[in-house]
Amino acid sequence: MPVIVVANPKGGVGKSTLATNLAGYFTYQGCNVMLGDVDVQQSSRSWLALRPQSLPPIAAWEVGEGHIARPPKGTTHMVLDTPAGFDGARFDEVMRIADKVIVPLQASMFDILATQSFLQKLKDHRGKYHVGVLGMRVNSRTRAADQLAHYVSGLGLPVLGYLRDTQNYVQLAAHGTTLWDVAPSRVEKDIEQWQDIIQWVQH
């Protein structure tokens, strides 16, 4: 069962946006998806409570006393949303089951510097997982995007792509929905930006 972890110890970088839409994609493909929220704020779980019953379901799990719970029976794909300050025993526990780790990162030097030690930790940590970086709220044609790509390439990690700064994600999240739950014509540019991400997580 694939386990995809969305992680960055810095807050406000778009982890929940990425995790919910990734879970939405797998559900759209007919998979039995569990969206696990390792964050004590339970942002993703709150989002699940907004999800209309008419849409394909995404299951949740409970985190009790900092320990990872078991996924519901029949789960085929797991997406884990992690908290700011993600470290210590919880980090070790999640990384033991991870197959892919996506690090959402905004293309500013402040965000890059704040995430530098975490990316190095992921690279040095002994595990079976693969790590990729995703530029968030960024125009791929800007100098900032070039700086991000240059920095990440120095670590030997792939940049999976760039998601633009758009109100689509905000509006969809407010209704418990994802890019995959609305008419493709409404989010055509955004779905196009997801193609390389999808290819990476599935191979």
Q: Is residue 92 situated within a structural domain? A: yes
At 63 the pLDDT is 53
Other beta carbons less than 10 A from residue 64's beta carbon = 8
Q: Is residue 169 situated within a structural domain? A: yes
At 64 the pLDDT is 56
Confirm if 76 and 202 have CB atoms less than 8 A apart: no
Confirm if 124 and 95 have CB atoms less than 8 A apart: no
Can you give the residue range of the structural domain that contains 110?
A: 9-30+88-201
CA–CA dist 31, 13 (Å, integer): 27
Residue 93 Rama label (left phi>0; alpha psi -120 to 50; beta): alpha
Q: Is residue 95 situated within a structural domain? A: yes
Q: What is the pLDDT of residues 158-181, one digit of tens each?
A: 889 889 989 999 999 999 999 999
At 35 the pLDDT is 94
Q: With residue 68 as reference, give the H or E element that holds it.
A: strand 67-68
At 105 the pLDDT is 92
In the predicted model, residues of the chain with pLDDT beneath 50 are none
What is the Cα Rg of the chain in Å? Answer: 16
Number of independent structural domains in the chain: 1
Q: Is residue 76 situated within a structural domain? A: no
